[in-house]
Amino acid sequence: MLATETGMLGQVLLVSLVLGAGLPVLFGLGLRAMAWGAGGDAEEHPAGVAPRPHPLGRALGVLCFALAAAGVVLGITVVVASGLGYEVGLGGGPLFVEKS
Protein backbone atom coordinates (compact mmCIF):
# COMPACT_ATOMS: atom_id res chain seq x y z
CA MET A 1 0.00 0.00 0.00
CA LEU A 2 2.80 2.38 0.90
CA ALA A 3 5.00 1.13 -1.93
CA THR A 4 3.36 3.41 -4.51
CA GLU A 5 3.77 6.45 -2.36
CA THR A 6 7.38 5.65 -1.45
CA GLY A 7 8.32 5.17 -5.08
CA MET A 8 6.68 8.43 -6.08
CA LEU A 9 8.38 10.27 -3.24
CA GLY A 10 11.75 9.14 -4.49
CA GLN A 11 10.94 10.61 -7.90
CA VAL A 12 9.62 13.82 -6.34
CA LEU A 13 12.79 14.21 -4.27
CA LEU A 14 15.07 13.59 -7.24
CA VAL A 15 13.38 15.96 -9.68
CA SER A 16 12.83 18.63 -7.01
CA LEU A 17 16.49 18.41 -6.08
CA VAL A 18 17.62 18.92 -9.66
CA LEU A 19 15.29 21.87 -10.24
CA GLY A 20 15.01 23.33 -6.73
CA ALA A 21 18.71 23.24 -5.93
CA GLY A 22 19.90 23.50 -9.53
CA LEU A 23 18.29 26.87 -10.19
CA PRO A 24 19.87 28.59 -7.16
CA VAL A 25 23.21 27.07 -8.15
CA LEU A 26 22.85 28.47 -11.68
CA PHE A 27 21.87 31.80 -10.22
CA GLY A 28 24.83 31.79 -7.86
CA LEU A 29 27.19 30.90 -10.72
CA GLY A 30 25.69 33.75 -12.74
CA LEU A 31 26.36 36.21 -9.94
CA ARG A 32 29.89 34.90 -9.51
CA ALA A 33 30.58 35.21 -13.23
CA MET A 34 29.10 38.70 -13.39
CA ALA A 35 31.25 39.82 -10.46
CA TRP A 36 34.35 38.36 -12.10
CA GLY A 37 33.33 40.05 -15.34
CA ALA A 38 32.77 43.42 -13.69
CA GLY A 39 36.13 43.39 -11.93
CA GLY A 40 37.04 46.19 -9.54
CA ASP A 41 35.31 46.01 -6.19
CA ALA A 42 32.71 43.44 -7.22
CA GLU A 43 34.91 40.70 -5.79
CA GLU A 44 36.93 40.73 -2.61
CA HIS A 45 40.54 41.41 -3.46
CA PRO A 46 43.78 42.42 -1.74
CA ALA A 47 44.02 46.17 -1.10
CA GLY A 48 45.52 48.23 -3.91
CA VAL A 49 45.16 45.86 -6.86
CA ALA A 50 41.65 46.04 -8.31
CA PRO A 51 41.00 43.05 -10.63
CA ARG A 52 40.53 43.84 -14.31
CA PRO A 53 37.07 43.41 -15.83
CA HIS A 54 36.60 40.24 -17.93
CA PRO A 55 34.09 40.41 -20.81
CA LEU A 56 33.91 36.62 -20.81
CA GLY A 57 32.58 36.73 -17.23
CA ARG A 58 29.68 38.89 -18.29
CA ALA A 59 28.84 36.56 -21.14
CA LEU A 60 28.92 33.53 -18.83
CA GLY A 61 26.83 35.39 -16.26
CA VAL A 62 24.19 36.30 -18.82
CA LEU A 63 24.12 32.67 -19.97
CA CYS A 64 23.58 31.41 -16.42
CA PHE A 65 20.80 33.93 -15.76
CA ALA A 66 19.15 33.05 -19.07
CA LEU A 67 19.18 29.35 -18.14
CA ALA A 68 17.76 30.12 -14.70
CA ALA A 69 15.06 32.31 -16.28
CA ALA A 70 14.25 29.49 -18.68
CA GLY A 71 13.75 27.23 -15.65
CA VAL A 72 11.27 29.71 -14.18
CA VAL A 73 9.45 30.02 -17.52
CA LEU A 74 9.22 26.24 -17.61
CA GLY A 75 7.72 26.30 -14.12
CA ILE A 76 5.09 28.87 -15.11
CA THR A 77 4.33 26.87 -18.26
CA VAL A 78 3.67 23.78 -16.17
CA VAL A 79 1.38 25.71 -13.80
CA VAL A 80 -0.59 27.35 -16.60
CA ALA A 81 -0.80 24.27 -18.79
CA SER A 82 -1.97 21.99 -15.99
CA GLY A 83 -4.53 24.63 -15.03
CA LEU A 84 -5.88 24.51 -18.56
CA GLY A 85 -6.01 20.73 -18.57
CA TYR A 86 -2.74 19.95 -20.32
CA GLU A 87 0.37 18.17 -19.17
CA VAL A 88 3.78 19.34 -20.21
CA GLY A 89 5.64 16.42 -21.71
CA LEU A 90 9.42 16.71 -21.59
CA GLY A 91 10.16 13.24 -22.89
CA GLY A 92 10.71 14.37 -26.48
CA GLY A 93 7.10 14.00 -27.60
CA PRO A 94 4.67 16.89 -28.07
CA LEU A 95 5.18 19.64 -25.48
CA PHE A 96 1.52 19.84 -24.49
CA VAL A 97 -0.45 16.67 -23.95
CA GLU A 98 -4.12 16.73 -23.04
CA LYS A 99 -4.66 15.11 -19.66
CA SER A 100 -6.38 11.75 -19.69
Q: Measure the CA–CA gap between 100 and 94, rounded to whole angstroms.
A: 15
Q: Measure the CA–CA gap between 39 and 52, rounded to whole angstroms.
A: 5
SS3 27: helix
Say whether residue 89 binds other proteins (CB under 8 A).
no
| Residue 24 phi, psi dihedral angles, 5° rounding | -60, -35
SS3 86: strand
Q: Among residues 48, 55, 83, 91, which is the contact residue for other proteins, using CB under 8 A?
A: 83
Site string for other proteins, 22-61 (x = CB under 8 A): -xxx-xxxxxx-xx--x--xxxx-----------------
If the CB atoms of residues 92 and 99 are measured against other proteins, the closer one turns out to be: 99
Interface with other proteins (CB under 8 A): 1-5, 8-9, 11-13, 15-17, 19-21, 23-25, 27-32, 34-35, 38, 41-44, 68, 72, 75-76, 78-80, 82-85, 87-88
